[in-house]
Chains A and B, each alone.
Chain A
Amino acid sequence: MNQADIVQTAPEDGALEALKDRAALVLEEARRQGADACEVAISRNDGLSATVRLGDIETLEFHRDRGFSVTVWIGQRKGSASSSDDSAQSLRETVAAAMAIARHTGEDPSSGIADASLLASDLPDLDLCHPWPMSVAQAVDLAGRAEAAGRADARIINSEGATVSTGCSLRVYGNSNGFLAGYPGSFHSLSCVLVAGADGAMQRDYWYDGSRVPGRLMAPEDIGERAAARACARLGASRPRTGTVPVMFSPEVASGLLSHFVGAISGGALYRKSSFLLDSLGEPLFPAWCDIHEAPRMPSWNGSAPFDADGLATRDNQFVSAGVLKSYALGLYASRRLSAQPTGNGGGVRNLCISDSGESQQQLLEKMGNGVLVTEVMGQGVNMVTGDYSRGAAGYRVENGEITRPLEEFTIAGNLKDMFAGLQGAGTDVDTRGNVRCGSLLLAPMKVAGD
């Protein structure tokens, strides 16, 4: 391939219909092999990613993923199989593998595809696919500009590179109750990882942006400068003293905190009784100013989708209203296990949003007065059964509402239920890159362990 050639990742005309035809073939093959019910998901992703390190191209990767998965039922017995090979022979063999499994699994009364009446009938175009055709030379130029802008800071002594990544996908879902639909999507990102140095010590940090729409990405120079500023700000970090102090999460880590809430209200954790929020509907979990909802059909948002993993319509769900837990997030199977109504959350929540408390990050810092601003959390120290939370962290000391110095190598610990209930404020500085959109979160005092 010549470097000047444009790399097309957009699905070609008719590709979605071709994928739907493949899905229909799988459903037909399952019926032929004796399945009482069947569902199939087929996807493809095409992408290009280019990394520039120290001013020169380092890696150039062409992505081309194909795959499908099929689930069959014999009565209430279920079997699943998947493959990266979607040739006609592989379709037959994969269905046969699923059928072989379904002869050995147990009768599960909750199992099965959705009744036709539950399946999504309105499937709006959510404007999810915005291809970004670019040549390798253009990709290298964009990544190079990000890295160069960051390296312009003399304190940046090394780089792990800047990466431009672009890709388009097709997703199709079909089942034997008559549902067959799909949609194209795109996702593009720009990231930069830099190393700052002083007095023989090194600190690494990064920044990235990601969007379905290329024009909404931050300028590469801004990403590089942000990465450099973050790495440099860590230089000279010390450890906090052990104690109980107010803690604030910056938006990029606050979204992770809310993800634990999502995990705890998800059907799978509930029917497995492995959530610390069992039997909590109607309970005040958050302060009264706090609302949490999902907006899965917002046009062109990163987490949007017209239907869920069961073929049910996605819908706006109000999970928390005035601080009170109003709804769990249930896919079809979980809803049957819990004798509840499904909420269109097969495959998870989409575009979760928390109401802000009307304060900017600076106003929240002033509200906190003295404490710790956490900008990085490390490790997996979250116990979803009990809500116990203990994680490594890095961030900044805050004194009289001002960030005064960097902190590293400490832990923060508490219980998620207490952390949610003690929320003091949610910032207007919303991070829109991920599936959970929220600003800075100011928490009540937590145990900080350091020196």
Chain B
Amino acid sequence: MTTTETDKLSLAQSILLEPAALDEGRVFAALGQVLGGDIDYADLYFQHSRHEGWVLEDGLVRDASYNLERGVGVRACSGEKSGFAYSDDIAAASLHDAVTAVRGIAGSGHSGTLPVARRVDYPVRYAGDDPIPGWDSARKVELLRDMDAYARSLDSHVREVTVSLSAVHDVVMMVASDGTLAADVRPLIRLNVSVIAERDGRRERGSSGGGGRVAYDWLLDADRARGFVREAVRQAMINLDARPAPAGTMPVVLGPGWPGVLLHEAVGHGLEGDFNRKGTSMFAGRMGEMVASELCTVVDDGTLADRRGSLSVDDEGVPSGVNTLIENGRLVGYMQDRMNARLMGVPPTGNGRRESYAHLPMPRMTNTYMLAGESDPDEILSTLDRGIYAVNFGGGQVDITSGRFVFSTSEAYLVEKGKIVCPVKGATLIGSGAEVMQNISMVGNDLALDSGIGVCGKDGQSVPVGVGQPTLRVDALTVGGTS
């Protein structure tokens, strides 16, 4: 990687500040106007974000879009209180308006001392090159058409093919009252394929995709784009044979990779610092206790190169980290943003994230996964006397207070006496986080991460995330089938 954090900071300043005739000194002066009175922390978040999306439907690229968002968010904190305002343009006057508004959180006071800039050093986790101009438009259209033709060539039962390609180039700068001055340049691409296959009057969908903080060329490396097409068609064909899923509580074997959405829901959200500071998570106050079987070690890792959920530095200027959440079953760490870390008296962990300048930061996951164990995956499957083997999922959801969570299969099989009997229709699995984690009785040696498709929603804010796990056996999960 050639980009350094210094390059990123100077690029960010040229894109974010120079057009508005702002500079480092003026920005810190604006921040100084927020401080004073009871304000103990304040920050500014400048963002310039470009997005493009191309969609092929029914054999034709019928529409494509380009989006530009730019603005600045201003936050003032006083104890547990936050005041927040933002502006859709970056200019001295609108910055002043936002600064004036947020001071209301703690009443007025005299302006505080001007902080001294402190540049944050951090290793870069991805190249900052803008993916959008990396390919010309004709090439993007050609890729989509090629994937459409390829999907239809793979099986004559394929009826509908939808392919979408998107890229984001996000330039952000964080300036905080403790002197923090940091910037990041974040590319993110995503390719998605969805097909509908039809046979004997029955229609079923299959979908696949992936991406990361990379350039478009990544899609052609290792035949990835075509691999996604093969996977989508394979899933649709398998679902054409799916029978009703069973209903009731039974053992479930989860495949490696994306099924790690289990961890995201069962323990991930419940270990975010805000819920634990407030005591509303079922994991609150349980630091050091056994919250999973001793086979389980779960980490949140924002440092993985080029991954969708990775960050060189978080949205509060804190370098991302490898944070162990659960070690051999024991709860050892929460994920923190600055505010919750300060209030809990612990260091921030690089998990302060926000959807955009128009949203307040919160503790959020990056890439959350379980470390590999020692079991052979085939051996794990062979222990299933009667249960479900689930290898692919849609989304999930959790109630962090009671710990109940769900996730829904998109490719799963009924297994009897260790052998796959047949594919089963999509079913929602439900369990309680701590119980399910205690019920993990085997952990495979085949850790895999997902292909780069995760979107996590919290309080109406979406951020890209990653998940991963090895093959796991859960002794009891409730399967929401119909038979």
Listed in ascending order, the chain A residues whose CB lies under 8 Å from chain B are 1-3, 53, 56-67, 78-85, 87, 90, 93-94, 97-98, 100-101, 103-108, 111, 136, 158, 160, 195, 201-204, 234, 239, 242, 271-274, 378-381, 383, 385-386, 388, 390-392, 394, 408-415, 447-451
Contact = CB atoms under 8 A, between A and B. Distances in A.
A67 B70 CA distance: 11
Nearest to B145: A106
Nearest to B94: A64
Interface in B365-409: 394-397, 399, 401-402, 404-408
A378 B396 CA distance: 8
- Most chain B CB neighbours (cut-off 10 Å) among A97, A234, A447: A447
Interface of B is mostly: strand
Contacts of A160: 278, 280
Q: Which 7 A-B pairs have the closest CB atoms?
A: A411-B480, A392-B406, A204-B401, A379-B406, A381-B428, A449-B247, A106-B60
B88 A84 contact: yes
Interface stretch (B99-107, B110-118, B170-178, B347-355): B99-107
A108 B64 CA distance: 13
Interface stretch (B10-18, B79-87, B184-192): B79-87
A201 B81 contact: no
A79 B62 CA distance: 9
Contacts of B394: 380-381
Given A61-B85, A203-B402, A409 B478 contact: yes
A65 B88 contact: yes
B406 A104 contact: no
24 contacts: A1-B103, A1-B104, A53-B278, A59-B83, A60-B82, A62-B102, A64-B86, A65-B88, A81-B66, A83-B67, A85-B89, A105-B61, A160-B280, A379-B408, A381-B394, A381-B428, A381-B480, A388-B425, A390-B425, A390-B428, A413-B428, A415-B482, A447-B481, A449-B479
A116 B104 CA distance: 50
Interface residues of B, number: 79
B431 interface: yes
A274 B196 contact: yes
Interface of B: 57-58, 60-71, 80-89, 98, 100-105, 107-108, 137-138, 140-141, 159-160, 162, 196, 203-205, 245, 247-249, 278-280, 282, 358, 360, 394-397, 399, 401-402, 404-408, 425-428, 430-432, 478-483
Contacts of A81: 65-68
A195 B61 contact: no
Contacts of A57: 81, 105
A82 B84 contact: no
Contacts of A274: 160, 196, 205
Given A379-B395, A381-B394, A61 B62 contact: no
A380 B62 contact: no
B86 to A, nearest CB: 7
Given A60-B83, A85-B70, A111-B62, A104 B138 contact: yes
Contacts of B428: 378-379, 381, 390-392, 411, 413
B64 to A, nearest CB: 5
Nearest to A273: B160
Given A379-B406, A381-B408, A83 B82 contact: no
Nearest to B435: A409
A413 B425 CA distance: 11
Given A378-B404, A449-B247, 10 more contacts: A59-B81, A64-B86, A65-B358, A103-B137, A106-B141, A201-B402, A379-B395, A380-B394, A381-B480, A391-B480
B389 to A, nearest CB: 17
Contacts of A414: 482
A411 B430 CA distance: 7
A280 to B, nearest CB: 14
Contacts of A66: 88
B101 A62 contact: yes
A255 B408 CA distance: 21
Contact of A409 (B60, B82, B88, B404): B404
Contact of B404 (A195, A381, A408): A408
B196 A273 contact: yes
A161 to B, nearest CB: 9
B47 to A, nearest CB: 10
A450 B82 contact: no
A105 B62 contact: yes
A383 B138 CA distance: 34
A97 B280 contact: no
A78 B396 contact: no
A438 B425 CA distance: 30
Given A3-B104, A56-B80, A449-B247, A392 B397 contact: yes
Nearest to A61: B84
B66 A97 contact: yes
A120 B408 CA distance: 43
Contacts of A408: 402, 404
A202 B82 contact: no
B142 to A, nearest CB: 10
B305 to A, nearest CB: 30
Contacts of A239: 478
A51 to B, nearest CB: 9
A410 B249 CA distance: 10
A385 B431 CA distance: 27
A56 B137 contact: no
Contacts of A450: 248-249, 478
Contacts of A53: 80, 278
